Amino acid sequence: MSGDERFGLDRRVRLAGPLTLDSGAQLAPVEIAYETYGALSADGSNAILICHALTGDQHVASAHPITGKPGWWVRMVGPGKPIDPERHFIVCANVLGSCMGSSGPASLAPDGSPFAMRFPVITIRDMVRAQAMLLDHLGVGTLAAVVGGSMGGMQALEWAATYPGRVRSAVVIASAARHSAQNIAFHEVGRQAIMADPKWRGGDYYAAGDPPAAGLAVARMAAHITYLSEEGLTAKFGRRLQGREAVSFGFDADFQVESYLRHQGISFVERFDANSYLYITRAMDYLDMAEAHGGQLANAFRGTATRFCVVSFTSDWLYPTAESRRIVRALNAAGAQVSFVELESPFGHDAFLLEAPELNRVVDGFLRAVA
């Protein structure tokens, strides 16, 4: 496979398409930025697709080109890890609508200027369809596994529902098969923060080179709270003050937690496009796999031969265990082979990205059994 330009880090491909979206719109061409690790076995049986979360990217186990930070899932992916390039052919692609090289609102439309809000509204299933096009291009027929946390888990579920014949197993971590009213509500706060920023300019801010950074930072701050837990925030910051002995009787970041959130917001805008944030949060809000299958989530998986592994975390209130149990119940009703475990963690939704030996043990055991 060496010498084949399709494989390796930091790849980009322009696929002719057209890709027909859930909205009815068509997208052509479709650009996808992706990375591959390891080599596809002769019988093609060792391919694993990793799906990233809302603000994630294709750099699952390689340094981020802007921040220089290590890949976002090096605890799960790498030599000696459950997903191992020595054994697996690993693909991770930037989702449709994002801003790390795949087609999204910042991409150029046929008229030569950025799509901005002319980019069609997409769904989680549209992201999955684009990934399927990429796998066709890479010569991958069937996946040994599709693995994802959070929005990545939603894609894994949609993969199993949309292409049951191409997915031998699915690992769904800290995720859900629908967005709840609370999930939508938090996303709407983020979107309104972006659109209320005068620099947003109806989405046409690319030419001015002055994006709605303040609005996007606030969106990130609100969202970041949902990724943590009260317990975690209390342990990390409590009511401790930031670099001062007493409160300032003003509106500086008196508290460490304020300072932390501001930092999260500011560093986020350096690497993410505000319009992409609008489009991807919308895609997540539109997810309701039961509604898409006659009101019964089980119908999405009826007769499936895919094996499922569902994992939740005790302190995750963004996609709580009840949402995972709902998936498991549907899979049982559909007669699917499913494993489920709720793991103990104080770190909230973000637990799936952190050091979690039990998670690695479960995923490793599950994937080895599938192989």
Partner 1 sequence: MTLRRDLRVIADMVPAGSRVLDVGCGDGALMAALRDEKGVEARGIELAAGDVAAAVARGLSVVQGDADTDLGDYPADAFDVVILSQTLQATREPAKVLDELLRIGRRAIVSFPNFGHWRVRLSILLGGRMPMTAALPVEWYETPNIHLCSIDDFRALAASRGAAIDGARFLSRSRPVSAVFANLLAEQAVFLLRRG
Which residue of 234, 247, 335, 354 would you call a contact of partner 1, by CB under 8 A?
A: 335
Specify the residue, 128 or 327, whose C-beta has the smaller distance to partner 1.
327
User: Would you call 2 a catalytic residue per the annotation?
Assistant: no
Judged by CB under 8 A, the stretch of 94-102, 202-210, 219-227, 325-333 that binds partner 1 is 325-333
**187 has catalytic annotation:** no
| Marked catalytic residue, from 62, 150, 175, 324 | 150
Of the candidates 4, 86, 210, 344, which one interacts with partner 1 according to CB under 8 A? 344
Residue 21 has a CB neighbour count (10 Å cut-off) of 18
Nearest-angstrom CA–CA distance, 156 and 138: 19
Taking CB under 8 A as the rule, does residue 339 contact partner 1? yes
Q: Using CB under 8 A, pick the residue from 108, 207, 247, 369 that binds partner 1.
A: 369
Exactly one of 9, 22, 332, 346 binds partner 1 (CB under 8 A); that residue is 332
**Closer by beta carbon to partner 1, 138 or else 172:** 172
Sign of CA dihedral 286, 289, 292, 296: negative
Task: Name the catalytic one among 316, 324, 345, 350.
Answer: 316
Stretch near partner 1 under the rule CB under 8 A, chosen from 109-117, 271-279, 280-288, 333-341:
333-341
Q: Name the nearest CA neighbour of 180 among 316, 304, 67.
A: 316
**Distance between CA atoms of residues 224 and 265, nearest Å:** 9
Pairing of strands 169-173, 145-149: parallel
Map 187-236 to HEC letters. HHHHHHHHHHCHHHHHHCCCCCCCCCHHHHHHHHHHHHHHHCCHHHHHHH
CB of 178 to partner 1, least distance (A): 18
302 is a contact residue toward partner 1 (CB under 8 A): no
Among 89, 340, 347, 352, binds partner 1 (CB under 8 A): 340
Q: Is 276 a catalytic residue?
A: no
If binding is defined by CB under 8 A, does position 139 make contact with partner 1?
no
Q: Which of 121, 266, 333, 346 binds partner 1 (CB under 8 A)?
A: 333
**Which is nearest to 96 in space by CA: 61, 65, 51?**
51
Could you give the CA distance from residue 128 to residue 32 in angstroms, rounded to a whole number? 12
Residue 69: Cβ-neighbour burial (10 angstroms; 0-12, 13-18, 19+): exposed
Cα–Cα nearest to 339, from 306, 314, 315: 306
329 interacts with partner 1 by CB under 8 A: yes
User: With contact defined as beta carbons under 8 Å apart, do 83 and 50 qualify?
Assistant: yes
Which residue among 52, 59, 88, 349 is the active-site one?
Answer: 349
Query: Is the alpha carbon torsion for 124, 125, 128, 130 positive or negative?
Result: negative
Per CB under 8 A, the list member of 307, 323, 352, 353 interacting with partner 1 is 307
Task: Please choose, from the candidates 329, 51, 4, the residue with its C-alpha nearest in 3D space to the C-alpha of residue 173.
Answer: 51
Is 322 near partner 1 (CB under 8 A)?
no
Q: Which stretch binds partner 1 (CB under 8 A): 143-151, 155-163, 208-216, 359-367?
A: 359-367
294: contact with partner 1 by CB under 8 A: no
Active site residues: 150, 316, 349
Interaction site with partner 1 (CB under 8 A): 307, 309, 328-329, 332-333, 335, 337-344, 358, 361-362, 364-366, 368-370
